[in-house]
Amino acid sequence: MSTSARIAVVAKAGADYEIETRDIADPGPHEVLIKLTATGVCHTDLSVQAGNLPTNYPVVLGHEGAGTILKVGSHVRDLAEGDKVVLSYGSCGHCRPCEEGDPAYCADFEALNFMNERQGDDAPVFDNGPNAAFFQQSSFATHSIAHERNVVKIDADVDISLLGPLGCGIQTGAGAVMRTARPPAGSSLLVSGVGSVGMAAVMGAKVAGCSTIIAVDTNADRLDLAREFGATDTVQAGTDVDVAEEVRKIVAGGVDFSIECSGNDKAARAALQALAKRGTLVVVGAPPSGTEYAFDANEQILSGRKIVGCVEGDAKVKQFIPELVHLYERGLFPFDRLIERYPFDKINEAVKDLHDGKVFKPVLEFG
């Protein structure tokens, strides 16, 4: 018997979401069918919808899903019907980065996460429907097909409707600190841009034991909230503010680590210049495709600074997401304070509110 799903479709770059009803396929041998409880809305969804990052239209976006497994494929062994799960990014499992334990740098990352190449089956996900294997989940829908590699079982007794953002935005910010930078306790760390990813980075820095955590943003209210999450100092950026100079007033010589979450070229340069010698810049914020960041080569040579890219917080999702849930249960990672709930039918309103900076992390609920 077929399963009917309500889906939000973007017909072309720049279009609004339109709700449709389609039958969803059965899972392939290595896939599961999930009834979604909720899904987060991420800035990556906005960038793809706008045409600033690649995909193939028409498309069902969404990549921070959470819900309950309805069916499992014949070869799935570690997941079962009725499991509560969070969905994350796709990876092939057999390229060199995957085999070496770095699935976020999968050789097929673009195809599996942006270009809707269904990993577990060649058939369309929805009958006569749009492309729908975005991040191997396309979770702007009441039901989703996901590959077993990007499905994370949640055993904790936690409201599953909160957990979808752990699959991308929140794990990206936290992982940029806890998995990519790995600052020793007592380090100094700057977070550039404190949206939801940056706020998660601030929380991660506090968990990591950084003694100085500097939040940088143009928005004073966001900086106040960053202090509540663990920032020890703040710098309000603006056209007449030299961020690096202000940082050196707080930490002589500059910080050990900078986490750049804004995707803004001026902010990225400031985050690099705010580093101490031998410091590390972790680039997280994703600007439009083709954006280039420039630096002085001799300054880079003489300073010994490192610039590191970071996808999905370098997370091995089946380990890192449960770790974040455990920290949340202990009151050490209060990401839920960033969430604003919307009914699924209000998806265009949620997207606009995120774009306009009215909310940190919209979560769509499927009633």
The listed CATH number (1.10.1660.10, 3.40.50.460, 3.90.180.10, 3.40.50.300) that belongs to domain 3-167+334-365:
3.90.180.10
184 upstream amide cis, omega within 30 of 0? no
| Mean pLDDT of the region 43-57 | 95
Annotate 2-63 with DSSP letters as a single string. Answer: -EEEEEEEE-STTPPEEEEEEEEPPP-TTEEEEEEEEEE--HHHHHHHHTSS---SSB----
What's the whole-number mean pLDDT along residues 98-113? 97
- What are the backbone angles phi and psi of residue 341, rounded to the nearest 5°? -90, 140
For 170-311, which CATH superfamily applies?
NAD(P)-binding Rossmann-like Domain (3.40.50.720)
Across 199-209, average pLDDT: 98
CA distance 145 to 137: 6
Q: Residues 116, 356, 167, 209: what is their CA dihedral angle, to the nearest 10 degrees? A: 140
Average pLDDT over residues 222-245: 97
Q: Bigger pLDDT: 36 or 129?
A: 36
Question: pLDDT tens-digit profile of 243-264?
Answer: 999 999 999 999 999 999 999 9
Q: Which pLDDT does position 1 carry in this prediction?
A: 64
What span, in angstroms and rounded, lies between the C-alpha atoms of 353 and 367?
Answer: 21
Say whether pLDDT at 40 is over 80.
yes
Convert the pLDDT of each residue in 178-197 to its tens digit.
999 999 999 999 999 999 99
Q: Give 136-160 as a DSSP string.
A: GT--SBSEEEEEGGGEEE--S-S-G
Average pLDDT over residues 74-81: 97
Q: Per-domain residue ranges for the chain?
A: 3-167+334-365, 170-311
* Mean pLDDT value across residues 309-328: 97
> In this prediction, what percent of the chain has a pLDDT beyond 90?
94
The residue-averaged pLDDT of 138-150 equals 98
